[in-house]
Homo-oligomer: A and B are copies of this chain.
Amino acid sequence: MKKKTVIGIIGAGRIGRVHAEGICNQIPGAHVKSMADPFMNDETAQWAESLGVEFTTKDYKEILDDSEIDAVLICTPTDTHARITREAAKAGKHIFCEKPIDLDVESIKETLRVVEEAGVKFQIGFNRRFDHNFRAVKDAVSAGKIGDPHMIKIISRDPSPPPVEYIKSSGGIFVDMTIHDFDMARYLSGSEVVEVYVQGAVLVDPEIGKAGDIDTALITLKFANGAIGSIDNSRKAVYGYDQRAEVFGSKGSIASGNDTLSTVVLSTEDGIISEKPLFFFLERYLASFVQELREFVQAIVDDTDTPLGGLDALRPVQIAIAAGESLKTGQAVKLSY
């Protein structure tokens, strides 16, 4: 029997727990040895134990110091990602880090430099690339089924806005929400974004506007390969979490729709009614959270590149910053890297 990849999870909040359950229940080739969280308590420790986690602690450095541990998942608040990533790299651990590493480009670059020097594997947590629908879109494009891509179109609407307090601290819609779409645009186009233009508005909740953010946006992208694209964002689609993409090209179009709880269709005097999109992102994307780790572990086992490396961590933040500038100036902003 092959040795399992031994993993420590740093951060036992919502996403840390999702990852723990995913690995323990669905990735036989990996073992979560330890979990660390400054707020670790008995209840969390018991839950971890029930999954087969051997060790829980308040101090993530115990994980970094554990020579048995091959890789860490960094699931802590965003403002600690860069620092812990650097420490983990220096400790020789392979790293899976939730997005984004940082909101500061220089900090990201420095962190990636440290990672590279350490020679450890690094993967950033843009889970949507591992979603069955988006992957099927990408696969069709890669297989040449739609010819040369001309337009990349992404619809990404949340079911309801986060608390305004969160928005105040998150860095705004481009870094807390659209950043996934910027990654998706790069993934589906197979190219870099070289220009961005934003038309934004506050239409969902004036409080969001008062907090200095927008809640509705149409974003236009130009790619290095000549293709163009758009992202359609709203903080509130009352019918559910609307997550779709289309790539249109010289030989046709490939488009993904939403997932639903079931396929049933009700026909009555009131119309023909089918199910709404899944509402909650963890429900919608659960399988993708497992799949991104499955491929991370596989990259360690096979000693290959991870599917989402350093540039994939850096570029979306750069695009988000340019988007913010476009929103402020009302004009298109060019990116050069």
- State whether B268 touches A264 (Cβ < 8 A): no
Q: How far is the CA of A274 from the CA of B263 in the complex (A)?
A: 15
A65 interface residue (CB < 8 Å to B): no
Main secondary structure of the interface of A (DSSP, over half): mixed
> Which of A69-77, A117-125, A228-236 participates in binding chain B?
A228-236
Residue of B nearest to A4 (CB): B50
Query: Which residues in window 157-181 of A have CB below 8 A to B?
Result: 157
A195 — which chain B residues lie within 8 A by C-beta?
199
The residue that A201 contacts in the complex, of B137, B203, B227, B266, with Cβ under 8 A, is: B227
> Which of A54-62, A144-152, A294-302 participates in binding chain B?
A144-152
A255 interface residue (CB < 8 Å to B): yes
A145 — which chain B residues lie within 8 A by C-beta?
266, 268
- State whether A269 touches B28 (Cβ < 8 A): no
The residue that A262 contacts in the complex, of B136, B200, B238, with Cβ under 8 A, is: B136
Residues of A in contact with B, size category = 35 or more
- State whether A274 touches B272 (Cβ < 8 A): yes
> Which of A85-93, A105-113, A245-253, A303-311 participates in binding chain B?
A245-253
A276 — which chain B residues lie within 8 A by C-beta?
267, 269, 271-272
A28 — which chain B residues lie within 8 A by C-beta?
50
A67 interface residue (CB < 8 Å to B): no
Q: How far is the CA of A254 from the CA of B238 in the complex (A)?
A: 12
A146 — which chain B residues lie within 8 A by C-beta?
266, 268
A25 — which chain B residues lie within 8 A by C-beta?
24-26
A132 — which chain B residues lie within 8 A by C-beta?
261-262
Q: How far is the CA of A221 from the CA of B257 in the complex (A)?
A: 25
What's the minimum C-beta distance from A266 to chain B, rounded to whole angstroms? 5
Q: How far is the CA of A275 from the CA of B255 in the complex (A)?
A: 12
Q: How far is the CA of A102 from the CA of B129 in the complex (A)?
A: 48
- State whether A228 touches B237 (Cβ < 8 A): no
Q: How far is the CA of A252 from the CA of B216 in the complex (A)?
A: 14
- State whether B273 touches A251 (Cβ < 8 A): no
Q: How far is the CA of A136 from the CA of B263 in the complex (A)?
A: 8
The residue that A264 contacts in the complex, of B238, B240, B256, B270, with Cβ under 8 A, is: B256
